[in-house]
Structure 1
Amino acid sequence: MRADVPLHRSLLLRLLAVSVLVSVCSIAATAWLTARSTTVAIRQEQGQALADDARTYDTLLGYAATHPGWDGAGEVVRRLARDTGRRVTITTERRVPLVDSDAGPPATLPARPTASIDPLHVDTVLAAASGAPLAQGTPLASVPDHIDPRAVGPFLLPGKERDALRTAAERRAACLRGSFGAAATIADSPSGRPVLDTEGARPYSETRCVSTVLDRPTATEAKALAALQKLVDSCLERRHESKVRLNLDFTWTPLPAPVPAQAATDDGPRGSVVPECVTGSRREQLAPYVAPPAMLFISSRGGDTSTAFDLSPENQARIAGVAALVLLITVTAGVMAGTRLSRPLRALTDAVRNMEEGRAARVEVKGKDEIGRLAAAFNAMAERRERLEELRKAMVGDVAHELRTPLSNIRGWLEAAQDGLADPDPELVSSLLEEALLLQHVIDDLQDLAVADAGELRVHAEPVDVADLLAQVATAHRGGAEAAGVTLVTRADGRLPLVADPVRLRQAVGNLVSNAVRHTPPGGTVSLLAHRADGDVVIDVADTGSGIAPDDLPLVFERFWRVEKSRSRRSGGSGLGLPIARKLAEAHGGSLSATSVVGEGSTFTLRLPAHGHAGAHSSGPDRRTR
Structure 2
Amino acid sequence: MNSLLVRFFLFSLVIAGCSIAVTAWLASQATTGAIRQEQGEAFETDVQIYDALVGYAASHGDWGQVRSTVDELARRYDRRVALTDQNGRKLVDTGDQNAPQLPVTPKALIDPLNVNGEIDPRAVGPFLLKDDEKRKLRSYADQLVRCNDRVEIVETPNGRPRIKGLEPGRHSVWDSCASGEYLQTVTATETAGYRELQGYFVACLATLPGNAMLPAKAPGRVDELDWDVLVVQGTTPDVVRCMDEARRDMLRTHVAPPAQLFLTARAGDSPQQIDLSTTGATRITLVALGILALAGFASWVTATQLVRPIRALTAATKRTAEGDRTARVDGGAGEIGQLAKSFNSMSEKLAETERQRQAMVSDVAHELRTPLGNITGWLEATQDGLAEPDPHLIGMLLEESLLLQRLVDDLHDLAQADAGTLRLHPEPIALDDVVDQVVNAQQNREILLRAETTPVHLSADPVRLRQALGNLVANAVRYTPPGGEVVVRLFQWQDRAILEVADTGTGIAPEDVPHVFDRFWRADKSRSRRTGGSGLGLAITRHLVEAHGGTVSVTSTLGEGSTFRISLPLA
Shorter-chain TM-score bucket reads: 0.5 to 0.7
Number of the residue aligned with 1:140: 94
Q: Does 1:557 align with 2:517?
A: yes
- Deviation of the 1:529 alpha carbon: 1.8
Is the contact between residue 38 and residue 309 of structure 1 (CA under 8 Å) also seen in structure 2? no
Cα deviation 1:80-136 (Å, max 9, x = unaligned): 9xx99xxxxxxxxxxxxxxxxxxxxxxxxxxxxxxxxxxxxxxxxx6xx432689x9
CA positional deviation for 1:513: 1.4
Matched, 1:491 2:462: no
Q: What is the distance in 2 between the residues matched to 1:186 and 1:470?
A: 107
Q: Aligned partners of 2:470, 2:486: CA distance in 1, in Å?
A: 12
Partner Cα distance (2:491, 2:290) in 1 = 74
- Contact 1:51-1:130 at 8 Å conserved across structures: no
Superposition deviation, residue 495 in structure 1: 0.8
Name the SS for the 1:562 alignment partner.
coil
TM-superposed deviation, 1:442: 0.5
**Matched residue of 1:565: which SS?**
coil
- The 8 Å contact of residues 528 and 542 in structure 1, kept in 2 or not, is answered as yes
Matching residue of 2:404: 439
Contact 2:325 / 2:350 at 8 angstroms: preserved in 1? no
User: Residue 350 of structure 1: CA displacement?
Assistant: 3.6
Deviation at 1:445, TM superposition (A): 0.8
Q: Does 1:390 align with 2:340?
A: no
CA distance in 1, matches of 2:547, 2:254: 103
Once residues 253 and 345 of structure 2 are traced to their aligned partners in structure 1, the CA distance between those partners, rounded to angstroms, is 100
Matched, 1:380 2:348: no
Residue number in structure 2 paired with 1:404: 369
Task: From the superposition, tell whether residues 468 and 48 of structure 1 become closer, same or farther in structure 2 (CA, over 3 Å).
Answer: closer
Report the CA distance between 1:20 and its aligned residue: 0.8
In structure 2, what is the equivalent of residue 45 of structure 1? 38
Partner Cα distance (1:344, 1:145) in 2: 77
Match among 296, 299, 315 for residue 331 of structure 1 = 296
SS of residue paired to 1:351: helix
Pair 405,139 (structure 1): closer, same or farther in 2 beyond 3 Å:
same
1:535 pairs with one of 467, 483, 495: 495
**In structure 2, C-alpha distance between the alignment counterparts of 1:332 and 1:513, rounded to whole Å:** 71
The whole-number CA distance in structure 2 between the counterparts of 1:604 and 1:384 is: 28
Q: Quote the offset at 1:448 in angstroms.
A: 1.3
For residue 590 of structure 1, report the CA deviation from its aligned partner.
Answer: 1.9
Partners of 1:37 and 1:393 lie apart in 2 by: 74
CA distance, structure 2, for counterparts of residue 21 and residue 514 of structure 1:
71
How far has the Cα of 1:440 moved from its partner?
0.6
Query: Aligned-pair distance for 1:398?
Result: 1.4
1:573 corresponds in structure 2 to 533
CA distance in structure 2 between the aligned counterparts of 1:185 and 1:573, rounded to whole angstroms? 116
Give the secondary structure class of the aligned counterpart of 1:488.
Answer: strand
**How far does residue 329 in structure 1 lie from its aligned partner after superposition?**
5.5
1:582 deviation in Å?
Answer: 1.5
Q: Which amino acid is the alignment partner of residue 545 of structure 2?
A: A
Going from structure 1 to structure 2, the CA distance change for 1:327 and 1:552 (only over 3 Å counts) comes to: farther
Match of residue 591, structure 1, among 539, 551, 558: 551
Q: Deviations over 1:574-621 (max 9, x none)?
A: 11111211121122222223333444433322121223xxxxxxxxxx
Counterpart amino acid of 2:16?
Answer: S
Post-superposition Cα deviations, 1:128-175, rounded to whole Å, max 9, x if no partner, equal x432689x94522143699xxxxxxxxxxxxxxxxxxxxxxxxxxxxx
Query: How big is the shift at 1:559?
Result: 2.0
CA distance change for structure 1 residues 553 and 441 in 2, over 3 Å: closer, same or farther? Answer: same
The separation in 2 between residues aligned to 1:445 and 1:458, in whole angstroms, is 15
How far did 1:334 drift?
Answer: 2.8
Preserved contact between residue 325 and residue 347 of structure 2 (Cα < 8 Å): no
Residues 510-548 of structure 1: CA deviation (Å, up to 9, x unaligned): 111122222334444333222222311111223334443
C-alpha separation between the residues in 1 aligned to 2:479 and 2:393? 30
Corresponding residue number in structure 2 for 1:311: 277
The reply to whether residue 131 of structure 1 matches residue 90 of structure 2 is no
Whole-angstrom CA distance in 1 between matches of 2:83 and 2:294: 59
Instruction: Give, as a single letter, the amino acid of the residue that structure 1 aligns with 2:513.
Output: L
Cα distance change, pair 490–339 in 1 and its aligned pair in 2 (3 A):
farther
SS at match of 1:490: strand
3-state DSSP of counterpart to 2:95: helix
TM-score, normalised relative to structure 1: 0.52
Is the CA contact (8 Å cut-off) linking 2:490 and 2:500 kept in structure 1? yes
Which segment is superposed worse, 413-422 or 590-599? 590-599
Distance 1:587 1:552 in 2: 25
Please say if 1:500 is aligned against 2:460: yes
Aligned to 1:14: 7
Instruction: List runs of 5+ in structure 1 lacking aligned partners.
Output: 1-7, 57-78, 85-125, 147-182, 188-196, 200-295, 297-307, 612-626
After TM superposition, give the deviation of residue 33 of structure 1 in Å. 7.5
8 A Cα contact 2:496 2:569, kept in partner: yes
Given that 1:133 and 1:140 are in contact with CA atoms closer than 8 Å, whether structure 2 keeps it comes out as no
Instruction: Letter of the 1:513 partner, please give it.
Output: V
| CA shift for structure 1 position 360 | 1.6
SS at match of 1:552: helix
Q: Name which of structure 1's ranges 28-37 and 463-472 shifts more when overlaid on structure 2.
A: 28-37
Compared with structure 1, are the counterparts of its residues 50 and 376 closer, same or farther at alpha carbon in structure 2 (3 Å cutoff)?
Answer: closer
The TM-score with structure 2 as length reference comes to 0.57
Query: How many pairs align?
Result: 376
Query: How far apart are 1:328 and its partner, in Å?
Result: 4.6
Which residue type is aligned with residue 473 of structure 1? Answer: V
Quick one: distance in 1 between partners of 2:390 and 2:567?
A: 48
Note if 1:349 corresponds to 2:314: yes
Q: Is the 8 A contact 2:471 2:538 kept in 1?
A: yes
Query: What corresponds to 1:209 in structure 2?
Result: none
Give the corresponding residue for 2:121. none
What secondary structure, in the 3-state scheme, does the structure 2 residue paired with 1:489 have?
A: strand
Q: Give, in whole Å, the separation in 2 of the partners of 1:27 and 1:145.
A: 46
Q: Which residue of 2 aligns with 1:605?
A: 565
2:327 paired residue number: 361
C-alpha distance after superposition, 1:459-517 (max 9, x if no partner): 222222222221221121122xx44xx4323222x211121121111100011112222
Question: What secondary structure, in the 3-state scheme, does the structure 1 residue paired with 2:424 have?
Answer: coil
Instruction: Give me the whole-angstrom Cα distance separating, in 2, the residues matched to 1:600 and 1:364.
Output: 47
Counting aligned pairs with the same residue, the percent is 50
- Distance in 2 (CA, whole Å) between partners of 1:145 and 1:595 is 108
Distance in 2 (alpha carbons) for counterparts of 1:603 and 1:39: 85
Structure 1 residue 184, shift from structure 2 partner: 11
Map of 1:238 onto structure 2 = none
Question: Which SS does the other structure have where 1:311 is aligned?
Answer: coil
Cα distance in 2 between the residues matched to 1:377 and 1:333:
29
> Which blocks of at least 5 consecutive residues in structure 2 are unaligned?
50-71, 85-89, 101-251, 260-265, 267-273
Aligned partner of 2:473 in structure 1 is: 513
For 1:313, give the aligned amino acid. Answer: T
CA 1:337–1:440 in structure 2 vs 1: closer, same or farther (change >3 Å)? same
The 3 A distance-change label for structure 1 pair 564 and 376 is farther
Q: Give the SS at the match of 1:595.
A: strand
- Mapped to 2, the partners of 1:549 and 1:455 lie a distance apart of 32
Q: 1:471 to 1:138 in 2, by over 3 A?
A: closer
CA separation of 1:186 and 1:17: change in aligned 2, threshold 3 A: closer
Deviation at 1:35, TM superposition (A): 4.6
What letter matches 1:503 in structure 2?
V
SS in 1 for 2:443: helix
| 1:377 positional shift | 1.9
Cα gap change, 1:137 to 1:603, in 2 (>3 Å): same
In structure 1, C-alpha distance between the alignment counterparts of 2:95 and 2:344, rounded to whole Å: 88
Larger Rg: 1
